[in-house]
Structure 1
Amino acid sequence: MSTDQGPGRGIELRHLRAFLAVADEGGITRAAARLGLSQPVVSRTLAALERHLGARLVDRSTHHLALTPAGVVFRDKAVAAVGAFDEAVAPARTHRRPLRLGHAWSAFGPYTTPLLRAWQERHPGTPLELLRIDDRTAGLARGDVDAAVLRGTVDTPGIVTTVLFTEDRVAAVAADGPLAARVSLRLADLGGGPVVLNPVSGTTTPALWPPEIRPSVTLTVANTDDWLTAIAAGRGTGVTGSSTAGTHPHTGVAYRPLDDAPPLPVLLARRDGPGHPALPYLLELAREIVGRGPGQADGGQAGRPDLRGEGTR
């Protein structure tokens, strides 16, 4: 009987490793170099896997290969299967596949550096790669990362979230404008003029304001850098989480406490499924670092950002 008959039959570990290399590297050439194989061999191995499964796993229509929805789902299963095999044949060996963590702009805020340092000390065999991706789920939904730090409400199907902490919202205003002279601000102070929004990866929408003071003019941008540039140029004001003040200081932008805005939840998100075998350790460490409090997370240098000066220089 041919091993090509029926889903799952004839699939070997090499098929899974080839698929994961392509998924991680985003291309056949880089995957082949990583595996020490030729490009034709990797292409044939991937095609054989798709034929066995009866599903297209990789979209080949662009230069940078991307996973299909079926590929995103299968990737988590393949990671679990390869991880279980590696652990079974070499129990003492740490999983060496990088754990890729996406974020849209501020990662874990004041906890980012302490977490990365603690991870390196405790899990040196599993690199933790922090990737900034301007996307509402920081690349998680499309399979670019294994987990993501997200803010606000996440209602994307197939994503599971855990709230790690909440942070205050702050106003971002032009450093040389009249609002920068204020110690703190309220939503009504911003609603009278243009508000800069980032609908791609941001969390602020006009619904943050009560209807009677909702801004009538908005300016949309596609990423945090353009958001900061627009505010510094005086084209409008913005609202963001307090971590932005620490991770994205800008000489032309002043951050001020926003007294009447609700706090912003910071989430650790993963896809619903087996996922990377190191994900439970990431969640455990994140909770531990957050539990110490920002004042202890990095030797007392973190804490609430200094919002008194122009920017956070």
Structure 2
Amino acid sequence: MSGLELRHLQVLVALTEEGSFTDAAIRLRITQSAVSRTVTALEAVVGERLVERTTRSVALTPAGVRTYRAAVQALAAVDDVLDAARGRVRPLRVGYSWSALGRHTTVVLRRWRAERPDVALEVHRVDERDGGLARGAADVAVVRGEVAAGEGLRVQARTVFAERRMAVLPDGHRLARAASVRLDDLVGDTVLVTSYGTTTLDLWPPERRPASTLRVDNTDEWLTEIAGGLAIGVTAESTAVQHPHPGVVFVPLADGGEIDVHLVWPSGRAHPAVADFVALVERVVAGDQRLDAAVALVDDP
């Protein structure tokens, strides 16, 4: 495309991720007016309006979203070219929206460092359903539940384990000391939901659902509101491992079913270390499952 330059893509990515012309300028160490001129120049090159500008915020148009995603991938490809020329591999970025790999997380990270010291690992929590994969914030993402690729993104996925659902209650809740609960036990409560989680009212039958929900933006708010007795939650078992919280009790949900946990990565141009990371996760999970089985035999001969 005639006239397209890397600086155009760098400015669009910075503007999208920082959310304002001022912050994009600070990140790129250029002036705010230079950011604005570069975006205007990019729009002229592509022949589409990419950014809706207001006095308080910046929002991408549909064409802007598509261009941003492609720009992230293009800049990563440029980094790959430079790394190849210099004989190195850029860090592998692992994204997740909550709970990472649960109880397997620490073992995976330590094993990776021991087995692949040549490739740094970066772990990022991104409060999005796909762990930041679609917008290029991750090379491989931990995704719970349904795998849905973003617009224009083709992905590969591997299911690495499944985990049961848990009810998440304030410690003074009427069911906090129960051995397990059922969905029907929770219909009188307000349920917390997030934009990236797997909990919706569709878990309950249409004729018997909780009367209300509250939406929160992140896991910290979710835990704080539950601990404060404002609502209850439903989550994957890994949350109890990764996010213990004073004042919050995790109780098995007997009829909640299981949530599949997948590793997902772009199918077109994957990071060269993705295959090794997926294989390592599968080995760690298999080893932990064998250990669980051996412990069960000892406990129940």
Q: Classify the TM-score, shorter chain.
A: 0.7 to 0.9
SS in 1 for 2:239: helix
Paired amino acid for 1:57 = L
- One of 213, 220, 223 as aligned partner of 2:214: 220
Mapped partners of 1:98, 1:62: distance in 2: 37
Distance 1:178 1:83, change over 3 A: closer
Choose which of 163, 175, 178 in structure 2 pairs with 1:179: 175
Are the structure 2 counterparts of residues 203 and 81 from structure 1 closer, same or farther at C-alpha, using a change threshold of 3 Å? closer
Q: 1:130 aligns with which of 104, 113, 124?
A: 124
Cα distance, 1:72 vs. partner? 2.9
TM-score by length of 1: 0.70
Q: Distance in 1 between matches of 2:20 and 2:111?
A: 32
Deviation readout 1:95-152 (Å, 9 max, x if unpaired): 658847351x32332233444556667477766251342x5455556x3734653322
Q: Distance in 1 between matches of 2:19 and 2:91?
A: 15
Matched with 1:196 is 191
1:10 aligns with 2:3: yes
State which drifts further: 19-28 or 92-101.
92-101
- 2:85 aligns with 91
Matched, 1:285 2:297: no
Q: Which amino acid aligns with 2:214?
A: T
Q: Structure 1 residue 168 and structure 2 residue 161: aligned? A: no
Q: CA deviation at 1:293?
A: 1.7
Query: CA shift at 1:196, angstroms?
Result: 1.3
2:71 to 78, 102, 110: 78
Instruction: Give the 3 Å change call, closer, same or farther, for CA 199–127 of structure 1 in structure 2.
Output: closer
Q: Match for residue 297 of structure 2?
A: none
Question: Do the aligned residues in 2 keep the contact of 1:161 with 1:267 (CA within 8 Å)?
Answer: no
| Cα distance per residue 1:139-196 (max 9 Å; x no partner) | 556x3734653322355752646233221111222323342222222333334x2241
Secondary structure of residue in 2 paired with 1:239: strand
Match of residue 150 from structure 1 = 143
CA distance in 1: counterparts of 2:117 and 2:43, whole angstroms: 33
Q: 2 CA distance for matches of 1:127 and 1:50?
A: 35
Summarize deviations over 1:64-98 as a string: whole Å, max 9, x none: 54443323322343344444445445523546588
SS in 1 for 2:273: helix
Aligned-partner SS, 1:203: coil
Is the 2:165–2:237 contact (alpha carbons within 8 Å) kept by the matching residues of 1?
A: yes
Instruction: State the partner residue of 1:310.
Output: none
SS in structure 1 at match of 2:250: strand
* Structure 2: segments with no counterpart, 5+ residues: 292-301
Q: Which amino acid aligns with 2:280?
A: E
**What is the CA–CA distance in structure 2 between the aligned matches of 1:58 and 1:274, rounded to whole Å?**
27
Give the conservation status (yes or no) of the 8 Å contact 1:168–1:241: yes
What is the identity, as a one-letter code, of the residue corresponding to 1:108?
Answer: L
CA RMSD of aligned residues (A): 3.9
SS at match of 1:130: strand
Deviation at 1:288, TM superposition (A): 1.9
**Cα distance in 2 between the residues matched to 1:61 and 1:238:** 36
The amino acid of 2:277's aligned partner reads L
For the 8 Å contact 2:186–2:210, the answer to whether it is kept is no
Distance 2:119 2:24 in 1: 20
Return the alpha-carbon distance in structure 2 between the equivalents of residues 128 and 253 of structure 1: 29
Structure 2: how far apart are the matches of 1:27 and 1:120? 37
Number of residue pairs the alignment of both structures matches: 285
**Which residue in the other structure is 1:306 paired with?**
none
In structure 2, how many angstroms separate the alpha carbons of the residues matched to 1:209 and 1:45? 50
Query: Identity over the aligned pairs, expressed in percent?
Result: 40
Residue 207 of structure 1 pairs with residue 207 of structure 2: no
SS of 2:235's partner is: strand
Structure 2: which amino acid aligns with 1:285?
Answer: F
